[in-house]
A and B are shown apart, each in its own frame.
Chain A
Amino acid sequence: MRHLIFTVLFVFIASLVLGGCGFKDIDKRFFVVATGIDHSDNPNKPFRVTLRLAVTSPKIEPGAGKSQLETIDAKTIAEGVRELKAYVDKELDFGHCKIFMIGEKLARKEMDQAINWMTRRRDIQMIANVTIGHPTAEAILKIQPKNERYPGNTLFLSFGKEGTDSSYTVTEYIFGMRKRRTEKGIDPVLPIIMPENETYRISQAGVLNKKKLIIILSPEETQLYNQITNKYLKSSLGGNVEQDPYVLAVGRIQSRFKIKNNAQGKPVVEMRIKIHGLLEEAPKLVFDKDWASIEQELAKQYSKSVVRLLKKFQRQGVDPIGFGLKYRATHYSGGDKSWQEWQGIYPNIEFDVQTRVTIEGTGLIK
Chain B
Amino acid sequence: MNRYFYYSFLYVLLINIMMFVPNIIIQNRYSGGISSLLLAIPFGTMLALLFSSSISRFPGKAVPEILFDHYPRWLVVPFMWMLAALYFLGSTIVLVAFSVVINRFYNPDTSSNVVLYLLIATCIYCSTRTTLSLVFALEVLIIINAPLVMFVLGKGIFTSDLDWDAMHTVANYFRMPPNLVSFAAATYIFSGYLNMSILNRALPPNFRLKHRWIIPLVGTLAMFTSIFIPIGFHGTEAVDEYLFIWSITADSMKMEYGFIERVLFLYLILYLNLTLLFTTFGWHKAMEFLKSTSKSHKPHLDPEKIPKINWIICGAFGLIAIIYSGVVNEKQNFSIATVWLIIRLFAEILSVIWICWLAYRLKSKSKFKVKGQSESK
Contacts and interface: CB of A to CB of B under 8 A. Distances in A.
Interface stretch (B168-176, B288-296, B347-355): B168-176
A332 B175 contact: yes
B237 A183 contact: yes
B235 interface: yes
Contact of A179 (B108, B110, B234, B264): B234
Given A21-B114, A179-B237, 12 more contacts: A6-B125, A13-B121, A21-B109, A22-B107, A122-B105, A125-B262, A127-B252, A175-B233, A178-B241, A182-B235, A183-B236, A328-B169
A329 B171 CA distance: 8
Contacts of A173: 161, 252
B121 A9 contact: yes
Contacts of B252: 126-127, 173, 175
A63 B69 CA distance: 80
20 contacts: A13-B121, A20-B110, A21-B109, A24-B109, A127-B253, A127-B254, A180-B235, A182-B237, A183-B166, A183-B236, A183-B237, A183-B238, A185-B165, A186-B235, A230-B160, A325-B166, A325-B235, A329-B165, A332-B173, A332-B175
A295 to B, nearest CB: 27
A231 B118 CA distance: 48
B329 interface: no
A86 interface: no
Interface residues of A, number: 43
Contacts of A2: 306, 311
Nearest to A9: B121
Given A6-B125, A22-B109, A127-B251, A16 B238 contact: no
B256 interface: yes
Contacts of B107: 22
A285 interface: no
Contacts of B166: 183, 325, 329
Interface in A198-252: 230-231
Given A180-B235, A334-B175, A160 B256 contact: yes
Interface of A: 2, 5-6, 9-10, 13, 16-17, 20-22, 24, 122-123, 125-127, 160-162, 173, 175-176, 178-186, 230-231, 322, 325-326, 328-330, 332, 334-335
A175 B234 contact: yes
A13 to B, nearest CB: 5
B163 A325 contact: yes
Nearest to B104: A122
A125 B114 contact: no
Closest A-B pairs by Cβ, 10 of them: A22-B109, A329-B168, A332-B172, A183-B235, A179-B235, A182-B237, A126-B251, A175-B252, A182-B238, A329-B169
Contacts of B118: 13
Nearest to B172: A332
B117 interface: yes
Interface string B122-158: 0011000000000000000000000000000000000
B248 A126 contact: yes
B105 A178 contact: no
B108 A123 contact: yes
Nearest to B167: A329
Given A10-B121, A13-B117, A160-B256, A330 B236 contact: no
A128 to B, nearest CB: 10
Contacts of B233: 175, 179
Contacts of A185: 165
B63 to A, nearest CB: 28
Given A183-B236, A329-B165, A122 B108 contact: yes
Contacts of A328: 165, 169, 172, 236
B366 interface: no
A295 B154 CA distance: 38
B335 interface: no
A5 B173 CA distance: 55
B111 interface: yes
A52 to B, nearest CB: 20
Given A125-B262, A127-B254, A183-B237, A22 B165 contact: no
Interface string B230-258: 00011111100100000010011110100
A175 B264 CA distance: 13
Given A17-B110, A175-B233, A325 B125 contact: no
A295 B30 CA distance: 46
A26 to B, nearest CB: 14
B308 to A, nearest CB: 9
A185 B124 CA distance: 50
A2 B254 CA distance: 44
Interface string B72-84: 0000000000000
A230 B104 CA distance: 34
Task: Point out which of A20, A231, A329, A330 has the most chain B C-beta atoms below 10 A from its C-beta.
Answer: A329
Contacts of B234: 175, 178-179
Contact of B311 (A5, A179, A332): A5
B241 A322 contact: no
Given A20-B111, A173-B252, A330 B168 contact: yes
A329 B231 CA distance: 13
A186 B169 CA distance: 13
A10 B117 CA distance: 10
A334 B174 CA distance: 10
B132 to A, nearest CB: 17
A182 B241 contact: yes
B291 to A, nearest CB: 17
A22 B237 CA distance: 35
Task: Point out which of B160, B235, B252 has the most chain A C-beta atoms below 10 A from its C-beta.
Answer: B235
Interface string B5-17: 0000000000000
Contacts of B253: 127
Contacts of A175: 233-234, 248, 251-252
Contacts of A13: 117-118, 121
A185 B163 CA distance: 12
Contacts of A122: 104-105, 108
Interface in B240-286: 241, 248, 251-254, 256, 261-262, 264
A6 B114 CA distance: 17
A125 B108 contact: no
A80 B235 CA distance: 31
Given A22-B108, A122-B105, A122-B108, A184 B121 contact: no
B114 A17 contact: yes
A183 to B, nearest CB: 4
